[in-house]
C-alpha cells in the first residue's frame, strides 16, 4: 500500500508486552499493528517505501553528505585533541552547508512550480530542511563545539541571526526608503537589531533619527553611547569571565541610572530599548511579534540579563523562556520539544524526537554518527545488541537500497557498521534487480571486493540463466565461468556444440579462443576449447598438428561419444590431402574409433539411422583404407631407400 503524496511519514516508539521497545514507523520505517483482542506477540508489519528517497531535489543531500560521511570515517585516527575537535566542527558545518544548498534548490523549485500541489510539496520540504539545519546548528554549538560560558552566547546569537530571518524583508524595506527615520516600521527595525544584538546596525539607524529629529539628538547620543559601551564576551582568551561580569555590571548600572533619571521619558521607543538593554522581561516580551520564536526570546533574554551563562544553566532559562513566550496560549510543536531536549543536554531524547518528527532517517543517522565521533554516545547500547549509531545507519542505508541508483551509497554505510553491516549488505544486495549487464557487473564488483563469494556465485548464475534464455551463449558461458559453475558451463558448452552441428560454425569465437585456464572448469568446456583449437590449426593449414589434436580428443575420451561421428567427419579432408597426414598407427586408431562407434549401436539404432549417416560411415572406411594403403606404400618406400 503506497503512502499518499500529501501524507507526512512518521515513526513511533511503541511499548508492547512481547518486547521492550519496538521501533516502528511509516514512510520506510514500517508500522506495527496489533489486532484488538489478539495476543500482542502477533504483529503485522506494513512496510512502505521512504518517499523522501524519490524526491529528485533531495538527491544532492544524499550524494554530497555521503562524501562527508566517508571522509569522517577515514580521518578517525588522523587528528587528536584540539585539532580533532576543530575537524569535527568543520565536518558539522559541511553537513549544514549541504542542507542549506538543498534548501535553496528546493525554494527555487517551489517558486518555479506552476502546479499548486507541487508548490505545496516543495514548500513543505523547505520548512523541513530549515528545521533540520536549525536543530543541527544548535547541536553543533552545544555538543560538537561544546562552547563554554562567554563564547556560548556569541554562538547562540549567530544561530538566531541565521535562522530567524522573517524580519529581513522589513529591514530592506525601511533601509531602501528615502527617509528611513520617518518610515512607519523604522522603530521596529531598530528593535529587531537590538533584540538580535546587532548593535552597530542599530546605532547606524539611530544616527539617521538624530539627523532627522533635532529634539532627540541628546537621547540618541546617550543611547548610542550605551550600545557602544555594552560589554560582549570574547571568543579568544582576552578577558576572564569575572572581568566580563564586572564590566557588564557597571554598564548595567549606567543603563539603570539613565532609565531612572527619565532621560528617555519623552521618547517611548528609546525608553523601551533602554528597558531591553536592562533585560526587562516584560519589555522584551512586548516585542514578541518581532522575535517570532521562544528561542529567539531566550537568546535575547540571556544577552541582556546573563551574558556569561554556562552550558548547564541553559535548561532553566530555556524552559522558563518557552513558558513565558507561549504563555499557555499554545502547546509546544515537535520542533520546540527537540530544541528543548538539546538545551537540556538530553542527547538521546533529541535523536528520539527527531526520529519521530522527521520524514526520513538521513538526519538522525548522520547526526548520531557525528556525535558518536565526538565520543558522546559511547555508553548507549540498544537492548538488541547494536549501538544507536549503527542501528540508525543500518536503517538509513536500507532505505537507500530501495532506490534504483542510490543503493550504491548504501553499500558504504553498511561497510562502516562493524557489527551487522556485512549481514545487512548480503541480504540487500541479493534483492537488487539486475536489469542490465552493466548493473550486474557493478554489483559483482562490490561483492568481489568484499569477498562475498556466495553472492558472487548467485549473481553470476542469475545472469548466466538470463543470457541463456535470450540465446546469448557467449555471455552465458562467460557468467558461468565467473560463477565457477561446472554443471552450467557443461550445459552451455553442449549448446555451443549443438549450434555448431546445426550451423557448421561457432559463435562468440573471441570468447572461445581466449578461454585459457578457464576451460579446465569442466570436461565439456575443455573439449569445446580444444575443438575450436583444432579448427584454428586446420584454418592455418597446420594439418599435422590438427590431426594429432583431433585424434587425442577421441583417444583420451575428452570428446563425448555423441560427437565422435562429427570428429571423424572432420578427419575426412585430412585423409584426402595430397600429402599423407595420418601415420599408419594413427590411421589404425581412427579405424578403431569408427568401429567402436558403429559397434556400440544396437540393430534397432542402425535400422533407424538414415542413409546419410550410413554413407558417412562407408566414406570414412574407404578414406581410411586408402590412407592406410598410401601410408604403407610411403613407409615401405622410405624403408627401401
Decide if pLDDT at 14 tops 50.
no
Widest distance between CA atoms in the chain: 146
Q: What is the pLDDT of residue 513?
A: 61
For residue 180, the Cα-to-chain-centroid distance in whole angstroms is: 50
> Is 70 exceeded by the pLDDT of residue 24?
no
Residue 554 pLDDT exceeds 90 = no
pLDDT at site 165? 67
Alpha helices in 213-267 (DSSP H): 217-229, 241-260
Helix 486-503 × helix 473-482 angle, to 10° = 160
pLDDT digits (tens, 9 = 90+) for 243-255: 889 999 999 999 9
User: Is the confidence at residue 240, as pLDDT, over 50?
Assistant: yes
The mean pLDDT of the chain is 82
pLDDT digits (tens, 9 = 90+) for 308-362: 999 999 999 999 999 999 887 778 899 999 999 999 999 999 999 999 998 789 9
In this structure, are strands 31-33 and 44-46 parallel, antiparallel, or unpaired?
antiparallel
Does the pLDDT at position 34 exceed 60?
A: no
The percentage of the chain sitting over the pLDDT mark of 90, rounded to a whole number, equals: 39
Q: Cβ neighbours of residue 544 under 8 Å, at least 6 residues apart?
A: 581
Q: How far is CA 573 from CA 538, 548, 584, in A?
A: 10, 14, 17
Residue range 625-632: mean pLDDT, rounded: 83
Residue 638, pLDDT score: 59
d(CA 329, CA 325): 9
Strands 22-25 and 11-14: antiparallel
Does pLDDT of 117 surpass 80?
A: yes
Instruction: Say how many Å lie between the first and final Cα of the chain, rounded.
Output: 94
Give 639's pLDDT tier (boundaries 50, 70, 90).
low
Grid cell at residue 60: 544532492
What is the band of 2 on the pLDDT scale with cuts at 50, 70, 90?
Answer: very low
Residue 163 contacts residue 131 (beta carbons within 8 Å): no
Give the residue from 84, 96, 86 showing the smallest Cα distance to 367.
Answer: 96
pLDDT at residue 11 greater than cutoff 50: no
DSSP 91-157: HHHHHHHHHHHHHHHHHHHHHH--SHHHHHHHHHHHHHHHHHHHHHHHHIIIIIS-PPTTHHHHHHH
Exposed / middle / buried, residue 192 (Cβ in 10 Å: 0-12, 13-18, 19+): buried
> What pLDDT, in 10s, does the model give residues 489-544?
888 888 877 777 767 677 766 666 667 776 777 778 887 888 788 888 888 888 88
Give the percent of the chain with pLDDT over 70.
84
- pTM (two decimals): 0.77
Q: Is the pLDDT of residue 62 over 90?
A: yes
471: alpha, beta or left, given left = phi > 0 and alpha = psi -120 to 50? left
Tens of pLDDT, residue by residue over 584-596, are: 888 888 888 888 7
Cell of 189: 527595525
Amino acid at each position: 500500500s503506497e503512502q499518499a503524496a500529501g501524507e507526512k511519514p512518521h515513526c513511533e516508539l511503541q511499548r508492547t508486552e512481547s518486547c521492550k521497545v519496538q521501533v516502528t514507523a511509516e514512510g520506510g520505517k514500517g508500522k506495527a499493528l496489533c489486532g484488538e483482542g489478539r495476543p500482542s506477540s502477533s504483529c503485522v508489519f506494513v512496510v512502505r517505501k521512504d518517499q523522501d528517497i524519490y524526491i529528485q531535489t533531495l538527491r544532492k543531500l544524499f550524494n554530497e553528505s555521503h562524501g562527508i560521511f566517508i571522509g569522517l570515517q577515514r580521518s578517525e585516527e588522523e587528528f587528536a585533541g584540539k585539532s580533532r575537535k576543530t575537524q569535527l566542527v568543520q565536518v558539522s558545518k559541511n553537513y549544514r552547508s549541504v542542507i542549506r544548498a538543498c534548501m535553496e534548490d528546493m525554494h527555487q523549485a517551489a517558486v518555479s512550480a506552476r502546479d499548486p500541489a507541487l508548490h505545496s510539496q516543495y514548500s513543505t520540504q523547505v520548512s523541513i530542511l530549515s528545521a533540520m539545519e536549525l536543530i543541527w546548528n544548535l547541536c553543533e554549538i552545544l555538543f560538537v563545539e561544546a562552547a563554554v560560558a562567554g563564547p556560548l552566547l556569541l554562538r547562540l546569537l549567530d544561530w538566531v541571526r541565521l535562522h530567524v530571518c522573517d524580519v529581513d524583508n522589513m529591514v530592506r524595506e525601511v533601509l531602501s526608503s528615502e527617509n528611513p527615520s520617518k518610515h512607519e516600521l523604522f522603530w521596529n527595525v531598530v528593535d529587531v537589531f537590538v533584540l538580535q544584538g546587532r548593535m552597530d546596525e542599530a546605532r547606524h539607524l539611530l544616527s539617521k533619527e538624530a539627523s532627522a529629529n533635532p529634539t532627540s539628538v541628546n537621547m540618541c547620543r546617550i543611547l548610542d553611547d550605551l550600545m557602544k559601551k555594552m560589554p560582549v564576551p570574547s571568543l579568544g582568551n582576552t578577558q576572564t569571565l569575572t572581568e566580563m561580569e564586572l564590566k557588564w555590571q557597571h554598564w548595567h548600572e549606567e543603563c539603570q541610572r539613565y532609565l531612572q533619571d527619565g532621560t528617555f521619558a519623552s521618547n517611548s521607543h528609546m525608553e523601551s530599548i533602554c528597558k531591553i538593554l536592562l533585560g526587562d522581561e516584560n519589555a522584551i516580551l512586548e516585542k514578541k511579534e518581532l522575535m517570532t520564536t521562544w528561542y529567539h526570546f531566550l537568546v535575547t533574554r540571556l544577552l541582556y540579563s546573563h551574558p556569561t551563562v554556562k552550558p548547564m544553566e541553559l535548561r532553566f532559562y530555556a524552559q522558563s523562556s518557552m513558558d513565558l513566550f507561549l504563555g499557555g496560549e499554545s502547546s509546544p510543536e515537535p520542533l520546540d520539544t527537540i530544541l528543548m531536549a538539546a538545551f537540556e543536554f538530553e542527547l538521546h531524547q533529541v535523536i528520539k524526537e527527531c526520529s519521530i518528527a522527521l520524514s526520513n532517517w538521513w538526519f538522525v543517522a548522520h547526526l548520531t554518527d557525528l556525535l558518536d565521533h565526538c565520543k558522546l554516545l559511547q555508553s548507549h547500547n540498544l537492548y538488541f545488541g547494536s549501538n544507536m549509531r549503527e542501528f540508525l545507519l543500518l536503517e538509513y542505508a536500507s532505505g537507500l537500497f530501495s532506490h534504483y541508483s542510490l543503493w550504491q551509497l548504501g553499500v558504504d554505510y553498511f561497510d562502516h557498521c562493524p557489527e551487522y553491516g556485512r549481514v545487512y549488505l548480503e541480504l540487500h544486495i541479493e534483492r537488487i534487480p539486475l536489469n542490465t549487464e552493466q548493473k550486474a557487473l557493478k554489483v559483482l564488483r562490490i561483492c568481489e571486493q568484499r569477498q562475498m563469494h556466495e553472492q558472487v556465485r548467485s549473481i553470476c548464475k542469475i545472469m548466466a540463466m538470463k543470457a541463456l534464455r535470450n540465446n546469448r551463449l557467449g555471455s552465458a558461458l562467460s557468467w558461468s565461468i565467473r560463477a565457477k559453475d561446472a554443471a552450467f558451463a557443461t550445459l552451455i558448452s553442449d549448446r555451443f556444440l549443438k549450434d555448431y552441428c546445426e550451423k557448421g560454425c561457432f559463435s562468440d569465437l573471441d570468447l572461445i579462443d581466449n578461454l585459457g585456464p578457464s576451460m579446465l572448469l569442466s570436461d565439456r568446456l575443455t573439449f569445446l576449447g580444444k575443438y575450436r583449437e583444432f579448427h584454428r590449426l586446420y584454418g592455418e593449414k597446420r594439418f599435422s598438428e590438427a590431426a594429432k589434436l583431433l585424434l587425442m580428443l577421441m583417444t583420451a575420451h575428452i570428446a563425448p561419444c555423441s560427437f565422435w561421428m562429427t570428429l571423424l567427419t572432420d578427419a575426412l579432408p585430412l585423409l584426402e590431402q595430397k600429402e599423407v597426414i595420418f601415420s599408419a598407427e594413427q590411421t589404425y586408431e581412427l579405424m578403431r574409433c569408427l568401429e567402436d562407434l558403429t559397434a556400440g549401436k544396437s540393430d534397432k539404432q542402425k535400422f533407424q539411422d538414415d542413409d546419410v549417416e550410413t554413407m558417412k560411415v562407408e566414406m570414412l572406411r574407404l578414406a581410411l583404407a586408402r590412407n592406410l594403403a598410401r601410408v604403407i606404400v610411403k613407409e615401405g618406400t622410405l624403408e627401401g631407400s
